[in-house]
Amino acid sequence: MSLPIVLITGQLLTDEVWQPLRDAWSDRELIIADNQHGETIGEMAQNLLDNAPEKFILIGHAMGGFVAFDVMRRASERVAKLVLLSTLASADGPAQTARRQGYIELVESGQFNQVVEERIPILFPEAKRRDERLLNIARRMAADTGAETFLRQQRAIMARSDSRPTLHEITVPTLLVWGDQDGITTRANHDEILQGIPHARLEVIAGAGHLTTIEMPEVVVPCLTEFIDG
């Protein structure tokens, strides 16, 4: 029997980002972790562990990757395999903090709807920024998240720990997935993780942006399936 799979996604995103995996893996036990409660990344990680099976495969996307790093620090023995999509191990630098503070100011001034519009150029490659299917998904996920939860997520992210010093302690098989048109995370971010985790490998998804699972499911789903079943 295959192990349960726990999925946790990023800020301003919902379960919808996992829909291609849910469609393809209908015969597997999938658990969507809560990314909308908890004041810190550590609280989100502990909540995930409190509600997860004793042993599981962990897949984290973006902010979910930050939570996954914390899970590994707290209870690495419970995770059999790790998948990290479009994430980074470092804490925020000044430019990232300034961008996040700008989002907070937009929300606090009553312009929450503007946040997702400002994020579209960094979520999607230029060629996909007029794709109504993708834009509708991004806007719907933002609306379903809501302003209050988004602010809580932002503040948790801004206060997160630098996970680079503990990457070498992750000894489970680890797959990194990165779209080479991602406007939020870079190849350098993923190379840092790749060099830090002893048993990691990187899959680069050509032409994809930050939301690889919904942009190119025909590539990402088989990639993840092969890794999990291998």
Q: What is the pLDDT of residues 161-208, one digit of tens each?
A: 999 999 999 999 999 999 999 999 999 999 999 999 998 999 999 999
CA angle in degrees (0–180, nearest 5) for 43-140-160: 25
Backbone angles phi, psi at 202, to 5 degrees: -115, 130
- Angstrom distances, CA of residue 40 to CA of 137, 215, 227: 26, 29, 30
- Max CA distance (Å), the chain: 51
Domains of the chain, with CATH numbers? 5-92+154-229 (3.40.50.1820)
pTM for the full predicted model = 0.96
- DSSP 3-state assignment of 198? coil
- The partner residues of 167 in beta bridges, in order of sequence, read none
CB 213 within 8 A of CB 17: yes
Residue 93 confidence (pLDDT): 86
- DSSP 3-state assignment of 1? coil
Residue 203 confidence (pLDDT): 98
| DSSP 8-state assignment for residue 178 | E
